[in-house]
Amino acid sequence: MTSNGSARSVTVGTSQLNYLQASTLTANSFSDECTEEASTITEETTVDVVEDEESSEDSVDYAIDWGPSSSGPDLYLPGAWGTQGLEEHPWDDTKRPVVTFRNYKDLELNQSESGGVLSDRIMASCSTYLDKSPESGKYVLCKMVLSKKSLVDIRVLGFHHHIQYLDLSWNHLKNVEALGQLPFLMYLDLSHNQMETILDFKAPLNLTYVNYSYNTLSSLRDISDFWSIVYLDLSHNYIESIIGLQELRFLRHLNLSHNAIRRIENLNNMKLLNLNLQNNKIESYEEGDDVGFKTLNYLLQINLDYNELKSLKVFDGIPTLQSLKIRDNYLTELMELTALNQLNFLTEVDFRGNPIVDMDQYLEVCIKNVRRITILDGEFVNPEKKMAVQNKFDPSLYTAALKSAATSLFLQHLNDPVLGVPIVPFDNSYVPIIVLVGTPGSNKTKLLKQFCELHPKHVIMGVSHTTRPQIDDTEKNTYYFTSSEDFWQMAHDGEFLTVSQIFGHSFGFSQKEFGKTVGQPCALVLHMDMKGALTLRAKNSKTQLVLAMPSTREIHTQFICEKYYNEQKNASGGATLVVNCPEKAQDFLIASEYIVLNQNTKNSQLRGDFANTGAPEELSETGEEIYSEKSSRKSRFNTLNTILLCYKHRRKATSSTAYSTYPTFQTRAGSSRSVTFLDGSELNYTKGSSISETVIDENEPLSVLSKTFVMQKKEATTTVLGAASDVWTTQTDALKAITTDILKMRETYLHFHSDNPGLFSEVIFTDEESTALTKLTNLLKNCIIRQPNVASAYQYKQDSAYQAIIATRLKCMHTEINSEMSLGQKQLNENKFYTPKGRQFTSQLKKSKKEIIDTMASNRKSALRYKLPKDVKLNRKTSSIPSIDL
């Protein structure tokens, strides 16, 4: 025997060889030739066996180390029959005793063998290890590597029904019916053949590995008979659609790459771990029962490289996904990445070769949406980068608060303090501050008011500024209701200590408001969200935080419902249109001009920027729309008692049946109008017709109860924007959404509390009022009494140092005024102010005036920057602590 490995001689006992011979003969019906050869081996015959490190493809002889005391039937062979499936590499030749009777290369092929007919001779030289037959208990050949043998006819395999492992790759096979007689077949490699049909033979009992890659399959069929398959490779074929695989409930690895598949379909409920669909023609995501990756609840890896995908929506419902490869597709929208933000286990994504990769902020958006990302486009994502992105888009409560504190400090420093206003440095304040911290809708405002009424002498309620509209008169003293412009002007002027955004509105607590407790023996009590409270805390560590929440989720939900929705009055429900109104609401018209409402609409309110969203009073002769104050949308809706609500306020919404009877704007009797929708379709309507389609997009969300629609007017055409299905929602849905938001916030706050022990001085339940008020009172006592220098803060205005500063500033101003006056006097003397004719300014005067203004400005600046002279010392008197009777 020849070999290409290192040869060694082993003495094999007769009984062993007889056994080998016998078992192989009985089990495999070897040819006579083979039998003869085996029977010529007698006692003490020396057989060449080979240790070979190369693959078994060349069917080299392998050694069997029988061991000194081993005898035939009692031989121990690892991996007894049926256990192979449990091992990692069940047919790994390097771990097992392997047998081959002859070397394939030594065979002189006869005519039929050369023609591609598989014979026992070839099989004997290509078989490898033994295993015990479950039928006879004798050892039989189980592994057959028949790769690259130019095979066309493998019918002889039908006589070897113990084969478990069969490698038939790189042959010319078209028909494999004979495999139907191998009931124990587990591993089948038929890659690189000419197969046109998939698994066209009787299903073995436990086939687990199937490789049909590089064949000519153009379609699939129902292969549910082969239910035991775990690994299925169908790559490099011509398959156009995925069918017939759904019943393979043990299938874990499916390779369909390099085919002509256009749709991801018929994969529902499969337990795949690994799916390779690269190099196909998958284009778009379609909605449907059997399309997409629905209910693939085990999937870990998907490869969709080199397809034609434009959207990532298809990945929405794969909770377990860890790796997503989608190179060289047509992704052009960064927004698409938001589809991945629910995939909590996704750690590796590859978008190389897509247009989005070249977009600004690609990296940030990726990192933001794939929160656990570790490998992006083949490169490790640096944790610092991740942290930076997280701080930018989704900072932790602490980070957000610190950023906000830093911003407000920065703004304060940019702005000179206003002269004469006693601005108390917040960070050095001794004024006790108690902040009730909680989510919106937790009823803390009510509790706060009760607390202030309980201790009118010792508690001052801090009033914040807000851009949200006032709901009713009870809110009069709760906030300073401010326009957005004024609010942000104040913010930029550094007047706020905190700024928070809640449900699209801004809330700020001003330095000035804080100053109002100066000189009073009181504590300042206010309510805020967590970010605002932490900002105050960051600036003044003496701020006492109190977590104020309803005691249970159920009660919290109930409070939210009471606050944001009046269910009693909402008799008949109604559709809510979430309209995203652009800043210039005037550009929009509300479609249903007249809305007939039922009786229950007394509390309907118009909110938002609709004041000028008027429908035209009438049309002029030339078709122009004429507006008047009377026709403004606000007055119209007020008179008609229509329900138009800002979605973002979501409060006191009273719904009722609303009938849209007229289209948007008044058309002259009998005349008709047309509206062009997004998809280009047109809607014609005349006076009296009702319109039920709706849409809109962008910026501020508004709700419109009743089916109405909003359009953008552009000269002659009126276009309806957006897509109706996206924006319509019922009022109940809107309430659900806000409840979910707030309850989520509740969880975050509670976690924050448990993660930061000691941060909150007290926790109170807003639904247990008397206990809560007692706790607050005790806290108040502690706050006020334990402030050692409380009195000196109250004496601030009497502080001589403070007076010295003010005096100096006044002196500077005085100098400034004097210098202005003398300059004016000088010019007056020089007669530069007036023309001979009288009271008209000359250009020279204007110039002089400018000079005066400039001088004034620079004087004022220097006056304001005046620092405390070194010899003036702050002399805080520590007077006795005011008596507090609580």
Size of the site for ligand ATP (CB under 6 A): 20
Q: Is 81 within 8 Å of 135 (Cβ atoms)?
A: no
Compare residues 136 and 489 and give the one whose CB is closer to ligand ATP: 489
Compare residues 502 and 791 and give the one whose CB is closer to ligand ATP: 502
Cα angle value 462/466/471 (rounded, 5°):
100
Q: Which of 102, 149, 527, 636 touches ligand ATP (CB under 6 A)?
A: 527
Should residue 550 be labelled a site residue for ligand ATP when binding is judged by CB under 6 A? Answer: no
Give the amino acid at 735: L
The span of 58-66, 253-261, 523-531, 565-573 binding ligand ATP (CB under 6 A) equals: 523-531
416-445: contacts with ligand ATP (CB under 6 A)? 438-445
Beta bridge partners of 7: 50
Q: How far is the CB of 509 from ligand ATP (least distance, A)?
A: 4
Q: From residue 849 to residue 868, what is the string marking binding to ligand ATP with x (rule CB under 6 A)?
A: --------------------
Q: Cα(first)–Cα(last) distance of the chain, in Å?
A: 108
Should residue 7 be labelled a site residue for ligand ATP when binding is judged by CB under 6 A? Answer: no
Q: How far is the CB of 761 from ligand ATP (least distance, A)?
A: 17
Compare residues 160 and 468 and give the one whose CB is closer to ligand ATP: 468
350-389: contacts with ligand ATP (CB under 6 A)? none
Q: How far is the CB of 742 from ligand ATP (least distance, A)?
A: 9
The span of 89-97, 343-351, 498-506, 779-787 binding ligand ATP (CB under 6 A) equals: 498-506
- Determine how many CB atoms are found less than 10 A away from the CB of residue 563: 18
Compare residues 438 and 616 and give the one whose CB is closer to ligand ATP: 438
Compare residues 84 and 498 and give the one whose CB is closer to ligand ATP: 498
Should residue 528 be labelled a site residue for ligand ATP when binding is judged by CB under 6 A? Answer: yes
Q: Is 20 within 8 Å of 38 (Cβ atoms)?
A: yes
Should residue 500 be labelled a site residue for ligand ATP when binding is judged by CB under 6 A? Answer: yes
Compare residues 179 and 548 and give the one whose CB is closer to ligand ATP: 548
Backbone CA torsion sign across 472, 478, 481, 487: negative
Q: Is 278 within 8 Å of 233 (Cβ atoms)?
A: no
The span of 97-105, 497-505, 583-591, 606-614 binding ligand ATP (CB under 6 A) equals: 497-505
| Cα distance between residue 420 and residue 281, in whole Å | 74
Compare residues 252 and 650 and give the one whose CB is closer to ligand ATP: 650
Q: How far is the CB of 440 from ligand ATP (least distance, A)?
A: 4
Compare residues 204 and 515 and give the one whose CB is closer to ligand ATP: 515
Compare residues 204 and 440 and give the one whose CB is closer to ligand ATP: 440
Compare residues 17 and 499 and give the one whose CB is closer to ligand ATP: 499
Q: How far is the CB of 649 from ligand ATP (least distance, A)?
A: 9
Compare residues 30 and 507 and give the one whose CB is closer to ligand ATP: 507
Q: Which of 56, 213, 412, 464 touches ligand ATP (CB under 6 A)?
A: 464
Compare residues 149 and 563 and give the one whose CB is closer to ligand ATP: 563
Reference 327, options 345, 346, 307; nearest CA is 307
Q: How far is the CB of 535 from ligand ATP (least distance, A)?
A: 8
Query: In terms of C-beta distances under 8 Å and separation of at least 24 residues, what long-range contacts does 191-196 make, across chains too?
Result: 191/215, 191/233, 193/168, 193/169
Q: Which residue is nearest to ligand ATP (CB)?
A: 532
The span of 119-127, 502-510, 636-644, 668-676 binding ligand ATP (CB under 6 A) equals: 502-510
| Cα distance between residue 855 and residue 823, in whole Å | 10
Q: How far is the CB of 421 from ligand ATP (least distance, A)?
A: 20
What are the tokens at 457?
């002498």
The span of 500-508, 617-625, 631-639, 847-855 binding ligand ATP (CB under 6 A) equals: 500-508
Should residue 532 be labelled a site residue for ligand ATP when binding is judged by CB under 6 A? Answer: yes
In our burial notation (b when 16+ CB lie closer than 10 A, e otherwise), range 386-404 reads beebbeeeeeebbbbbbbb
Q: How far is the CB of 541 from ligand ATP (least distance, A)?
A: 18
Compare residues 143 and 556 and give the one whose CB is closer to ligand ATP: 556
Should residue 511 be labelled a site residue for ligand ATP when binding is judged by CB under 6 A? Answer: no
Angle, helices 731-755 vs 553-564, to 10°: value is 140
764-803: contacts with ligand ATP (CB under 6 A)? none
Q: Parallel, antiparallel, or unpaired: how do β-strands 544-549 and 728-730 relate?
A: unpaired
Compare residues 563 and 636 and give the one whose CB is closer to ligand ATP: 563
For 638-658, give the DSSP string: HHHT--EE-TTT--SB----E
Should residue 404 be labelled a site residue for ligand ATP when binding is judged by CB under 6 A? Answer: no
Q: Which of 59, 498, 605, 703 touches ligand ATP (CB under 6 A)?
A: 498
| Cα distance between residue 441 and residue 553, in whole Å | 12
Q: Is 647 within 8 Å of 734 (Cβ atoms)?
A: yes
Q: Which of 107, 409, 502, 723 touches ligand ATP (CB under 6 A)?
A: 502
Q: How far is the CB of 654 from ligand ATP (least distance, A)?
A: 18
627-666: contacts with ligand ATP (CB under 6 A)? none
Should residue 507 be labelled a site residue for ligand ATP when binding is judged by CB under 6 A? Answer: yes
Query: Which single residue is written with the structure tokens 């009702």?
Result: 690
What are the tokens at 647?
């979605």
The span of 159-167, 220-228, 413-421, 506-514 binding ligand ATP (CB under 6 A) equals: 506-514
Beta bridge partners of 130: 141
Helix locations, 370-509, DSSP H = 383-393, 397-414, 444-454, 484-492
Q: How far is the CB of 702 from ligand ATP (least distance, A)?
A: 17
Question: What single DSSP character describes residue 371?
Answer: T
Q: Which of 165, 430, 509, 752 touches ligand ATP (CB under 6 A)?
A: 509
**Phi and psi, residue 279, nearest 5°:** 55, 55
- Residue 32's Cβ-count burial label (10 Å; 0-12, 13-18, 19+) is exposed
Q: Is 339 within 8 Å of 324 (Cβ atoms)?
A: no
Beta bridge partners of 301: 274, 323
For 303-369, give the DSSP string: E--SS-----GGGTT-TT--EEE--SS----GGGGGGGTT-TT--EEE-TTSGGGGSTTHHHHHHHH
67-106: contacts with ligand ATP (CB under 6 A)? none
Angle, helices 383-393 vs 362-369, to 10°: value is 90
Cα dist from 395 to 95, 157, 179, 383, 402, whole Å = 54, 66, 61, 15, 10
316-345: contacts with ligand ATP (CB under 6 A)? none
Q: How far is the CB of 735 from ligand ATP (least distance, A)?
A: 14
The span of 87-95, 358-366, 525-533, 668-676 binding ligand ATP (CB under 6 A) equals: 525-533
Q: Is 309 within 8 Å of 293 (Cβ atoms)?
A: no
Compare residues 366 and 738 and give the one whose CB is closer to ligand ATP: 738
Q: Parallel, antiparallel, or unpaired: how do β-strands 505-510 and 464-466 relate?
A: antiparallel
Compare residues 373 and 534 and give the one whose CB is closer to ligand ATP: 534
Reference 278, options 191, 333, 353, 381; nearest CA is 353
556-595: contacts with ligand ATP (CB under 6 A)? 563
Q: How far is the CB of 508 from ligand ATP (least distance, A)?
A: 5
Q: Which of 72, 508, 515, 521 touches ligand ATP (CB under 6 A)?
A: 508
Contact footprint for ligand ATP (CB under 6 A): 438-445, 464, 498, 500, 502, 507-509, 527-529, 532, 563
